[in-house]
Structures are given as structure tokens and as C-alpha cells.
Structure 1
């Protein structure tokens, strides 16, 4: 019996054990850690160092703008699908970029440890910005690597789960542990240590498996010989399409780049308003790089299927301009035409699901601490214990449960249950906003209040911990299922671009809606807001059910390899 057939016949827990023991799963955990560590250090812990160095708040606000690298990482993802790193290209299509980014990040953290954030603020901010760019680049390629290397043993579901576990562990190491070390040593020592860890991970990555060449380049090879064959879209039409898409992506890159440069200027008066930029220009960037190119891709697919504007005979590229056209078309347009061609009108459902699935926890995340500290009047120590230590443990538990559910129940059932739980747990916070009587009853009757009291807390702290535990377990289950789902609908040949686009859109509504949500909190209070976020989560539940029905009806024809009904 083959390994694939043998694994397929195993009970759920044996499949989990087989997947966990796989070499790819081990490296996926390491890569998840490598993705989470620089994010925690550059967009969180760094502010603690700047505060200790007495850098003014306005200057610290500039550093927060480096987070835009993560929001707009899809803008340079086409290059990561097409270009090779000199010398390192022999490592593999994905590994060459992963190892390069990790070694660069390690070196940047080491150099940062040698700089004074006050006297060398210019170099400090420049390196932090380059580090954020390298970190976002690493995220794109690691997501693509996960899609490319998944197989029937190291499944996309298990790889997605352990990736997030590694990421969350890194958040603890780069956050709580870094603060702990800084209190006992100093910040240069902390960042030197973290830089050494990243360098070690980069060297370990040299031995990581990469996708089989035949798997990764199958679509690319077909394009190489197929774009100019009879029956394909005429190069003139492709040229117009590439021109429009190229101009739109170029505008987006320049717009974001100029904003970043202006924001890092030395004169505070000339710095643009980041909130205004994200709320006004952000949607335009998405329209220019996602919406309009998708409509163009849909038109191209329709022309090809209707037999219009097609080559009547082979027309090989005889000039450099023709070859450049083909390369540019493969990088920017083909990932979208592949999406539209495989999924058709179902892409509308998928985009709706992508935009709404994580909204229940992402949109109000910025107001969590004001809610805990201001509205509920917990102390900082209580919030730290409940959210950072106990909460992270609950999140890890949720991820583990989500991974097991994916293996035993199937992806779409887990995705739908995750959406239900993520929406429903907002009602726990709604109850807290009204005094928390229901949460208190559950905590008391389950014995949780007694346990917390015997560990040095009180009933009031137990109530907060109960709510946070409920939400984080739900978020863990939903997160494991959602990453697995996104990974399943992208094509191996275009995984970097397609996944980067989807993951960026995931946070779009939450990012754009925080201003309105803040105003709503001021006017109507937290209780009403939590009822609203619960209702928003209900939209995601409905879309999950529609998508589940679509996949169960179409199966492999939908372009999504799914066994959602197994075990149901």
C-alpha cells in the first residue's frame, strides 16, 4: 500500500500524528516562528525600547507606518513569483527568498542592537523600515511555500495550523519574553539575541524541503509554450491588458512609496496623516490593484472562451519587447485570469468571505485595551495575566483543536463552525459591557472562579479570563480553518500573488472600519458595538454555508481540492 493510500485510511488522530512527524511540518513551524518574531519586534516591542530611550510620541508614531509594508505586501508579490535571487537560486523557487529574508532580518536586528535610537534615529528608522519590508516579503513567500509543498501526509490543513502555532510562539518570545529580558539586561542585548535567533533560523532553512520543480513550474511551463500558440489571446490584446494593469500597479507602488518617504521626513509638519491615507487612499489602491485588474481578467477569460481576439496560428516572440510582454503578463495578469477562470462567479462569494470572515476580531482589536482598562477598569497587571499569558494559552488550544477538527471533520465544516464561534463569542464581551452576570454564572458553576481564586486571583478576574478564553479558543479554531481555506483556493504556480492578495484583503474592512467603530463606541457604548460585530460575523457564517454548498456540488471542478464532508 502506498504512503498516500495508507494515510488516507487512517483514523483522524493517526493522520494528525503522521502529519506532525513529517519533515515539512517541522519546518513549517520554524517558518511560522520566523514570520512572527520580526513582526512582534518591529511593530510592538520596538516601541517599548523607544519609550525607554525617551523618544517623543510623534516620532514613535512614524515608526508605526512601517506596518504599511504588511498591508500592501501584495504589491511586490508578482516579483517574488518570477525573479530569482543571484547565487541562491539553486536553493529552490521559494527557499531562495525565505533564506534571504531571514538572514537579512537577523542582520538588521543585530545592527539595530548596536545603534542608539536617539543619536542614530535616522539609521534606526531606515533599518526598521527595511526590516518590515523584508519581514512582509518573507510572509508572502512562506505562504506560497506552504501551498507548494503540501501533500497528502503534510496536508495544507496541518501546515496551516502549525504555521500559526509557530507564529503565536514567536509573538510571546518577541513580546513578553523580550520585555522580561530587557528588564534584567538591556535592549541592545535583547535585539542582539533575537537577531541571533533569526540568523540561526535562516541557516536552518537551507536544509528545508522545497516544492518539486515539476509541481511549481507546471503552470509556468504551460504558459511559456502556450501564450503564443494558436487559440490563445492575441499578444496585442494582452499588451493592452498588461498596460492598464501595469499602470495601475505602478501608481499604487509609487503612491505608497511616496507616502512612506514623506512620513519618515524630519519635519513633523510635512508628514501626511496616516489615518486619512488608509481610509481614503487605501481603498483606491485596492480598487486599482485588485478590482479593476480582476474585471480585466474576467473580460480576457470571456474573450478566450467565446473565441474572440485569439491567435489563428502560432506566433513566437521574436523580439525582446515580446518576451518582456509575456513575462509581465505572467506576473501581473495570469494569476488573476487563473482565479477567474477556475472559480468564475464563485470568486464574488470567496471575496465576500475573505472580507468578512475575520472582521469580528480584527475590527475591534484596537479598542481591546481601552475596553479592559477604561470601560471595565481592570488593572494593567490583570489585563496582562488574562490576555497575554492565559489568553495566548487559550489561543494555542484553539489552534490545536482547529487542526484536529480540520483533519477529522473536514475543512468547510471547521471553517463554518469557526465563523459561528467567532461571532458568538462577541456576545461574551457584550455581557461584560453590561456587568458580566452571565459570564459570572458560567465561571462560578464550571469551577473556573474557584480555580482562579486558588491561584491568587478573584472572581472578577476569573470573569475576564473566561471571556478572553472563549474568544481566543474560537479565534484559534477559526484562524486555523481560514488559513487552510485560503491556502486551498490558490494555484501552486501563482501562490505568492494570489495568497498575498487574499491575506491583504482579509484585514481591509477591519482597518477601514475602525474609525467609524470608534465613533460608534463614543456615541452608543461598547454593548451596541459588540452586538454589531456579532451580526457582522453572521454574514461570514452565511457565506461559509454558501461556499460549502458550492464546493460540495462542484468538487474538483471548482478548483478547490476539498474533502469537507468527510466524517460529517
Structure 2
């Protein structure tokens, strides 16, 4: 890779020189590219594992794959300072990373397709982690770019809506399409179909005009980029396998197995970040502008959040941790619940395709619209309560005889509520960041927002074994609704001037 700390001349040119239509079209495309893989390493994978008779507790452990995006702040600064050889020089730093990430997504999906028997859960886990890593890398590049070109709330609303329309629509289409294809051609066919769809934006990006003078020519840049990408993909896969082996050995040494109740341990781990941040806060607030912790390229963007917001940062992080709790927890067990209620893969796929797509688009559109017109506190409260109702709809579904109307109503409630919540939440997080470090700070805030929910999602199987499906979905919705109680405090938090 080539170190390049300076912005390239014309870095923002692909956004159509700030023309609104071009900007929205590009972010719709980026949303599609990032949204297609999401279910394939989460809810679709949990359903695939249950079909192969993997225990519910172990399926819950697989939800921890989704923890990886919460730590994206660890490599987000790299995307601001390093260009991908070939791709970066010709198409620009941001598009270069997007193209590399799409290659990573494609190869990871193909690997999951050809290991679809799940005979080796370790290999399945490795492929899922790689898919999560490259999907997250794509999101980091897109998020940093979005905040740079749309710095205020009025501009963020439409561009967030466009991105989420693409993202959540692709996510829903992938979920429904994968289930229908799996019913016809098996899980291998399903993952290969999604891989093909996820790769479609790559040739479109490759056909775009270059950044600057595009030195070297398109074909040379493409060949160099593909060779560098292959090297990077192999290196990342090898490192991931090595780290995974160490983690599994440590878990086995600690006596962790498929029968272990991990919920108490997970709850203690969830408290650790808040304790650590509270202890560090006094020193951060006293740090002068030239202090190493504030000027460091590695940690400076994250220290800045606590320096600006002080103790209010702990309130903000507690709020964002609760806000999307219901959506994340429901994703871990929703499809096993619906399948257990007597619905076929095709029925679930059709509901996810037609109903969920329409509900998502309506919810995201409504969320983007109200985020530009309503007071922030009211938009956040509405999103939280609708998301909670969507979770509680699964409790109702579980007690009704299987029927199309029941599945449609529950699916619509879940997807519409989560669509509104997602849109207003992205706008809210975007307004918290310092424009000096948009990519890194947004990566930290959005990653932390899902840290606690995804930790708990890994214990979903253990929780269901203790309190049942009813208790689990009542609790998950209640946690999302509880975030509203923090809103009076959250709305009083103000950033300190640098």
C-alpha cells in the first residue's frame, strides 16, 4: 500500500461537483453494495445453521460475528491515510477502498457458498468474519465521504435517506432472495446469487472517470489494483484464521462450550467500556490542545469526543447503545422463531421481499423527511418506540396460527419501525462528529452504538433458553423503548468549543 496522508486534488469530484441528483444516485448505489451482504453473515446464516441442526446456543455465538463492525474505529484511520495501489491512484482513495472491499465481499460470499454444508463450523465462522470485515470496510469509506460532502443536518437528511434506501432495500432483497433460492437450489446457490449481486457495482465504479490526471491509464491501474487486492485479501484471511485459532483455544481453556450460560459474563463485559471511559475522562478534559493524546493520528479523533462532550459523552454513549438494541437482538433469533412457527423458507422470503422492502423504504423515507423538519428529540423518540413495537410483533406472531396476514403484519411492523429508527439515528450520529475527523469519529460512534447490542446478541441462545421466545422479544423491544427515558438528558448535552 502507498502512504498518502494528503487529500488528492479533486477528491470529491465523483460526487458530481455537489449536484444533488448525482450525489443521491451514488449513495443509493453504495447503499446497495453495503446492504446485500449483511443478512448473509447474520440472520440468514443463523437459519442455515438451524437447518443443519446446530444448537441454538451455538447459533447465538455466531451472532458475535456482527461484533466486528463495532470495532471499525481500529482501522478507520487507515482508510484516511493509505491508498490501495492501482485503484487509489487512478480512481481516488475513497473509491479505491470501496473497490477493494467489494472484491473482499465477493470472495467471502463465494467461500461461504462452497462451505454451505457447515461440516466445519470453524471454517464457516472464518468466512463469516471475513465477509463482515469487508462489508464494514466498505461502510467506513462511504460514511466518511458522506459526512464530508454533507456537513449539516439539512443536507444529511436526503443523502442518508438515499443511502439507507439502497442499504436496507438491498438487505431485504438479499434476505428474501436468498431464502427463495435456497428453497430451490440450496444454500450454495443462494450465497452465489448474492455474491453476483454484490459484485455488480464494481464494473460501474471501474468505468468511472479517474481522479486528477489518472496517470498510468485505466487498464494498468485495474491490473495493479487487482494484483494488490489479491495479496491483501490473502493476507487478511491468513491473519483472521490465526487470530480465530487463538480465540477458540482461549475459549476452550476457559471451559466455554455449547452448554455454557454466557449471559452473566457478557453483561460484565458490557459494563467494562463505561468504567474505563469514566476513569480516563478527567485526564482527557484537562489535556491541552498540544497534548499527545489529542494530536495523535491513532487516538486523537476518539479522545476529541470525550474532550468536547465531557461527562455528557457517557450519557450519549449509553443512549446510542440502547437505541438500536431491539433491532440487533431480534436479528439473532427472528428467523428461527418464524421458521419454528410453521412458515416455509419461500413464505418467509416472499414476506421479506415484498412487504419488508416496501416497509423499509417507507420507514427510511419518513425518517429522512422528519429528521429535516422535526426537533431532534421527537424524531429519536418516535423511532425508538416504533422499533420496539416491531419487536413485540414477533411475540404476537408466535401465538397466532400460521397465516399470510399474520406474517405480513409482523414483518411490516418490524421493518417500518426499524427503517424510521435507522434514518433518524444516522442523522443524529452524523451531527455529533467533529468535521475535522468525520470518518474516524463516525466509525467510533456507530461502532459503539452496536457494541453492547451485539455482545448481548451472542448470548441470545442462552437468554432464550432461560426466558423463552416471548420473554426474549418483550425484553429486546423494552430495551429500545427504554432509550427514550435518556432523551431529556441527551438533549441537554452540548459540545465544548475546541
One fold, TM greater than 0.5?
yes
Q: Distance in 2 between matches of 1:296 and 1:483?
A: 27
What's the CA shift for 1:98? 1.7
Q: Distance in 1 between matches of 2:154 and 2:55?
A: 46
In the other structure, the counterpart of 2:68 is 69
In the other structure, the counterpart of 1:352 is 318
- The verdict on how the C-alpha distance between 1:491 and 1:174 changes in structure 2, with shifts beyond 3 A counting, is same
**CA deviation string 1:396-436 (max 9, x = no partner):** 22112212222332544322211232334555555667x67
What's the CA shift for 1:182? 5.6
TM-score by length of 1: 0.63
Q: Distance in 1 between matches of 2:308 and 2:87?
A: 33
- The verdict on how the C-alpha distance between 1:537 and 1:264 changes in structure 2, with shifts beyond 3 A counting, is closer
In the other structure, the counterpart of 1:507 is 450
Q: Distance in 2 between matches of 1:390 and 1:370?
A: 19
In the other structure, the counterpart of 1:379 is 343
In the other structure, the counterpart of 1:83 is 82
Q: Is the 2:395–2:469 contact (alpha carbons within 8 Å) kept by the matching residues of 1?
A: yes
TM-score by length of 2: 0.70
Equivalent position SS for 2:36: helix
Equivalent position SS for 1:304: coil
Q: Distance in 1 between matches of 2:355 and 2:33?
A: 23
Say whether residues 1:39 and 2:38 are aligned partners.
yes
Task: Choose from 288, 297, 315 the match for 1:331.
Answer: 297
Q: Distance in 1 between matches of 2:245 and 2:126?
A: 10
- The verdict on how the C-alpha distance between 1:410 and 1:98 changes in structure 2, with shifts beyond 3 A counting, is farther
Say whether residues 1:537 and 2:480 are aligned partners.
yes
In the other structure, the counterpart of 2:285 is 301
Q: Is the 1:165–1:399 contact (alpha carbons within 8 Å) kept by the matching residues of 2?
A: yes
What's the CA shift for 1:334? 0.8
Q: Distance in 1 between matches of 2:438 and 2:334?
A: 34
In the other structure, the counterpart of 1:229 is none
Task: Choose from 387, 407, 423 the match for 2:372.
Answer: 407
**CA RMSD, Structure 1 to Structure 2 (Å):** 4.8
Q: Is the 2:172–2:356 contact (alpha carbons within 8 Å) kept by the matching residues of 1?
A: no
Equivalent position SS for 1:332: coil
- The verdict on how the C-alpha distance between 1:543 and 1:204 changes in structure 2, with shifts beyond 3 A counting, is farther
Q: Distance in 1 between matches of 2:123 and 2:462?
A: 37
Alignment of 1:145-224 (within 5 A): 145-151=145-151, 155-181=155-181, 194-205=194-205
Q: Is the 2:73–2:444 contact (alpha carbons within 8 Å) kept by the matching residues of 1?
A: yes
- The verdict on how the C-alpha distance between 1:414 and 1:87 changes in structure 2, with shifts beyond 3 A counting, is same
Q: Distance in 1 between matches of 2:21 and 2:247?
A: 45
- The verdict on how the C-alpha distance between 1:31 and 1:329 changes in structure 2, with shifts beyond 3 A counting, is same
- The verdict on how the C-alpha distance between 1:513 and 1:302 changes in structure 2, with shifts beyond 3 A counting, is same
Task: Choose from 435, 440, 448 the match for 1:497.
Answer: 440
**CA deviation string 1:420-456 (max 9, x = no partner):** 32334555555667x67xxxxxxxxxxxxxxxxxxxx
- The verdict on how the C-alpha distance between 1:297 and 1:420 changes in structure 2, with shifts beyond 3 A counting, is same
Q: Distance in 1 between matches of 2:107 and 2:402?
A: 47
What's the CA shift for 1:351? 0.7
Task: Choose from 284, 288, 309 the match for 1:343.
Answer: 309
Q: Distance in 2 between matches of 1:537 and 1:124?
A: 31
Unaligned runs of 5+ in 1: 1-18, 213-254, 312-324, 437-457, 560-568
In the other structure, the counterpart of 1:480 is 423
Unaligned runs of 5+ in 2: 1-17, 213-238
Equivalent position SS for 1:408: coil
Q: Distance in 2 between matches of 1:302 and 1:120?
A: 52
In the other structure, the counterpart of 2:360 is 395
Range with bigger deviation, 93-102 or 353-362: 93-102
Q: Distance in 2 between matches of 1:119 and 1:532?
A: 33
